[in-house]
Amino acid sequence: MAEPFALAVDAMGGDEGPRAIVEGIAQAGERHKLARILLVGDASRLTPLLAASPAAASCCTVRHAPDVIDASARVAAALRARNASLRVAIDAVAAGEASGLLTAGNTAAVLAISKTVLGTMPGIHRPAIAGILPSQRGTLVLLDLGANLVCDARNLVEFAFMGDGFARIVLGQAAPSIGLLNVASEPEKGDDRLLRAAEILRASALGAQFAGFVEGHDIIGGKTDIVVTDGFTGNVAMKMGEGALRFSGALLRQALTGGVAARLAAFLMRPSLKRLRQRIDPWQYNGAVMLGLNGVVVKSRGSTDGAGFSRAVAVGLNMVGNNFNDRIREAVSKNVLF
């Protein structure tokens, strides 16, 4: 068999269609020499886009898939769509033709098909979705973002192990600190599930990194490098943080356009405002990852443009290039959790 592709990219997922996907690959290719990519989708649309983009064409091989799973598709229908670009791309990962998957498609469909086709990693009961947010520390890994709306203590502990691997491998952190999200930070406060997860973590190989319970304001406040919670709470927290940052950004823009003095101020502040925008941009790390599957799975936001997608390409290549899944598997197998 030929050397595998680094990534199978679902070219049809996402609200902006294949143009944004090809543009994202081209932009990533301008920054880094790219590994080989299997670009899966409607060949009649992909071929002309690649012809117009030498940077993308130089690393992409097209595989035709006639169907598309759209953003509103139900999971059951998505699982039956065997000729959809997302499914063909995941099949290529399962067959060992590509080391990882990258898609901007429907999250529920990506998760369901990945679980079915790739399977869950040995030692892990439930895959989780992890994302990166800005924080006072610089970055913050938050998980689960919605793969598991209800979690038990065991799931939360596994999320901590997977989050640890993600922070070490993708963000290069040496011994990331880990917090368990709660409504109080005192170690004796919490429901049985949280108290049990904390007890297991304290006694685990992550014991020295485990900082106990953290509260909502500690997430962006940067008390720890990683925050672990169930998928319902994590989803709400992430979106709440993004909404709040966008709100303050909108108010700042208003403040900087309200009159001559404000516009002069905006001019004087241009460099520092640019840095500010970059720091609080919730999209700076586009690419949530689905951890705990037999294969690297990176999920870009559906509404991404080319620039956003190029960041997800970088996350995917980084994970694949660093043998992310082998290292997580090894870490989990060394720490028999239960």
Footprint on this chain of a second copy (rule: CB under 8 A): 72, 134-136, 146, 149-150, 181, 183, 186, 191, 215-221, 229, 231-233, 235-252, 254-256, 258-259, 261-262, 264-266, 268-269, 272-273, 275-276, 279-280
Distances from the Cα of 326 to the Cα of 36, 99, 166, 321, 332, angstroms: 20, 11, 12, 11, 10
Nearer to a second copy, 17 or 216 (CB): 216
List strand residue ranges (DSSP E) for the chain, in order.
5-10, 37-41, 60-64, 98-103, 128-135, 138-143, 178-181, 210-214, 226-228, 288-291, 296-299
- One DSSP character per residue, 230-276 reads -HHHHHHHHHHHHHHHHHHHHHHHHHTTSSHHHHHHHHHTHHHHHHH
**Residue 20 vs 73, nearer CB to a second copy:** 73
Question: In angstroms, what is the minimal distance from the CB of 46 to a second copy?
Answer: 30
Closest to a second copy by CB, 2 or 150: 150
Q: How far is the CB of 259 from a second copy (least distance, A)?
A: 8
Residues 260, 255: Cα–Cα separation, whole Å: 11
Least distance (Å) from a second copy to the CB of residue 253? 10
Toward a second copy, which CB reaches closer, 169 or 220?
220
| CA dihedral for 103, 104, 109, 115, sign (positive or negative) | positive
Q: Both tokens of residue 144?
A: 């689960």
Nearest distance in Å: CB 249, a second copy = 7
Q: How far is the CB of 86 from a second copy (least distance, A)?
A: 19
Nearer to a second copy, 22 or 238 (CB): 238
